[in-house]
Structure 1
Amino acid sequence: MPDDAAARAAAEARVAAEEESAFSHPAVDPDATAAYGDDPDQVIDFYAPRVAVSPGGGLAPLVVVLHGGAWRAPYDRRHVTPFVDFLARRGFAVANVEYRRGGVSLPGEGAGGGGAVDGVGAGGVGAGGLGAGGVGSVAGRWPETFDDVAAAVDALPGLVREHLPQADPRRMVVTGHSAGGHLALWAAARHLLPADAAWRIDRPAPLRGVVALAPIADFTVADKLDVCGSACRQLLGGDEGFAARVPYADPALLLPTGIATTLVQGRTDTVVPQAVAEAYADAAAKAGEVVGLTLLEDVGHFPLIDPAADACAVVAEEIAQLAW
C-alpha cells in the first residue's frame, strides 16, 4: 500500500474510533424540560449540578449547550447528553437547547448516516453523517434555526428561575459543538447584526463568555472546504440565499463582540478542519479582538464531546475559566 494510501487509511480508522467512542455512551435524561415556543423542537432540557463546587454552596454557573449535527434534522440534542451530564458532574448547571433543523430530503440523496437510537449510538453522527454530503436532509431552516436560538437565549433567565433554581444566570457561558459552535458564536454577536435583522439586540448579551468547539465559525472558508456537504450554503438557502444572508449569519463577519471567546479545536479534525477556526481567530484579530484558540494535538472532531476523552476535560476547564 503506498504511503499516502496508508496514511489515509490510518486517518479514517482514527476518525471511526473517535466517533465510536463518543457515541457509545447512553443518553442521559434531564431533570426538567421547558418549552420556549410552540414547536415541538422549541424546548430546553435542564440538568442540575451533580456536585456542589461553588464557594459556600452558592448557585452554580449556567452552561448553555447548543448541539451540532450540521443543522440537520437527524441530529438532535440527545446525542450531546453524555457531554451535558459530564459538565453537570463538574458542578455546572446546564441547559441543553433544541432548535429547528433542516428536514427536507435533497433530490437524489439517500437516508445516509443513520444507525443511532434517540440520536445516540455508534454511526449516529460522523463519517457517515456530519462529514458526508449525502445525509438525506437539508442543513438548517432559514430563518427558523436562528429564530429559535435567539428566542431560547432570551427566554433562559426566566426559565432557569423556574426549572433550574441551582443556576446563576448572571454567570452564563454558551458552548456548542460544530454547527452548535457556530450558533454559540452567533448568539454572542447579535448586537452586531445588520440593523434590519429581527434577531438584533441593542447591547451585548449578558454572557460571561463563549467556548466554541470545532465551530463552523467562518462561512467563507467552510464553504470553500465543503464542510459537512455544503451545509453553510444549504443553511442560508442555496446559492442565492448564501450571498444575501451571509452578513446575518456568519460569525466571522460579526466582530468584535466584546465577549470573552475561546475556540477549542482538534488538529486532526477532518469534519470541520482547523483552518475554519483559525480563519475566525484571524478575523477577530483584524477587528481588534483577542480570541483564544486552544489546539489539541492528535484530536479529531468527536473527542471534544466524548466524556471518555481527555479533550473533553480540556473543554470543561476552558468553560470553568470563563464561568467561575
Structure 2
Amino acid sequence: MSDEPEVMSRSARQPDRTEVTGPEQTDVYDVWEPDPHRARGVTVGLVHGGFWRERYDRAHLAPLADALARDGFHVASLEYPRTGMPGGGWPGTAESLRARVASVAADTDLPDPLVLVGHSAGGHLVLWLASEDRVDGLLGVIGLGPVADLAEADRLHLGDDAVRAFLGGGPEEVPDAFAEADPARQRLTARAVLVSGERDDVVPPAVADTYAAGRAEGDPVSTSTARGADHFDLVDPESPAYLLVLAEVEELTLH
C-alpha cells in the first residue's frame, strides 16, 4: 500500500539462514550473523507487530535485523501465527512464539544470552514472555511502541479493536483471556524496557505509561522516549530512534 511507512517495503540484506521448527508456515525464524570480528556474543530475538493480524509478518523487520547484525549482534527474527491463521489468536499466538523462543535458545549456532525486542503487538508478546518466569535465562526484553496494557489498548480501540479480535471478545465477554494475556496484570520476572515514540499515534505512549504505572515497587521496568519519533521510526535503522534502541539493547546486555 502506498500509504504504508517506508520501512515496511525497504530492501535489506537477506538472512544468512532460515530455520524451520515445525509443520506450520509460521514455525520459522530467520538468522542474521554479525561479522565474527565484531560479534558481541549476544542473540537478539526480534518479534514483529501488526496488531496480531495475518497481513503483517516478520519481513518488515529485516532492515532492523540487518542493522543490529552490523552492530555485532546475532539476530533471530521470529514468526508466529496471527489472528485468523491456523493456531493464531489467544492463546495459540503466544504459545507458538514461546516455542519459537525455545528453538532459538536451543540453536547451538546462536549465543546463549538472549534479549527479546518486540514492536507494537510484538511488544505485548515479549512482555508476556518476560512475565511469570515463562522463559529461562532471558536477559530482558524491550518493547518498542508496545501494546503493553491490553485493557488500556482496548479502551482506546487501538487497531480497530484489534485486542478484541485477538482475544475473542471484550473484557466482559472473555475476562479469563484478558487476565491470562495481559502482561499488565501479571508478575514481571525479567527486566523490561519500554520505548515509546513521542509522536506515536498508532500505540500512544500512554499505553506504556499505564503499564509502567501499574508495576509494583522494585519491578525491573524502565521507560524511555524517542524524541520526534513515530510508531515506525522505532524499527527503522535509518531513523535517529535506532540509536536509542541500540543503546537500550546494549544496556540490557551489561546486566
TM-score (norm 1): 0.72
Does 1:157 find its partner at 2:99?
Answer: no
1:84 and 2:65 aligned: yes
State the secondary structure of the residue aligned to 1:175: strand
Query: Which residue of the other structure, out of 70, 78, 87, is the alignment partner of 1:97?
Result: 78
Task: Give the 3-state SS of the residue equivalent to 1:208 in structure 2.
Answer: strand
Mapped contact 1:47–1:94 kept (Cα < 8 A): yes
Runs of 4+ in 1 over 2 A off after TM superposition: 19-24, 50-54, 239-242
1:231 paired residue among 144, 151, 162: 162
Does residue 248 of the first structure (1) align with residue 183 of the second (2)?
no
Tell me, which stretches of 5 or more residues in structure 2 are unaligned?
none
Coordinate RMSD, CA, aligned: 1.8
Relative distance call for 1:151 and 1:290 in structure 2 (3 A) is: closer
Structure 1 residue 190 displacement after superposition: 4.0
The equivalent residue for 2:27 is 42
CA distance in 1, matches of 2:132, 2:25: 25
Deviation per CA, 1:170-192: give whole Å up to 9, x if none.
x110001000011111111143x
CA contact (8 A) 1:255 1:287 kept: no
AA aligned to 2:96 is D
Deviations 1:128-147 (A, max 9, x none): xxxxxxxxxxxx51222012
User: Which entry has the higher C-alpha Rg, 1 or 2?
Assistant: 1
Aligned length: 249
Q: What residue identity is the alignment partner of 1:308?
A: E
| CA deviation profile, 1:70-127 (whole Å, cap 9, x unmatched) | 11011011011111111111100001000001237xxxxxxxxxxxxxxxxxxxxxxx
How far off is 1:268 after superposition? 1.2
Structure 1: segments with no counterpart, 5+ residues: 1-15, 105-139, 192-200
- 1:168 maps to 2:111: yes
Matched, 1:148 2:96: yes
For residues 120-135 of structure 1, the aligned pairs below 5 Å read none
Mapped pair 1:188 → 2:130: yes
Q: Is the contact made by 1:256 and 1:287 (CA closer than 8 Å) also made in structure 2?
A: no
TM-score norm. by structure 2 comes to: 0.91
Identity of aligned residues (%): 38
On the 8 A contact 1:68/1:179 being kept in 2, the answer is yes
- Answer yes or no: is 1:319 the counterpart of 2:244: no
Larger mean Cα displacement after TM superposition, 244-253 or 290-299? 290-299
Map 1:281-300; keep pairs closer than 5 Å. Answer: 281-284=212-215, 286-300=216-230
2 CA distance for matches of 1:146 and 1:256?
A: 16
Q: In structure 2, what is the equivalent of residue 107 of structure 1? A: none
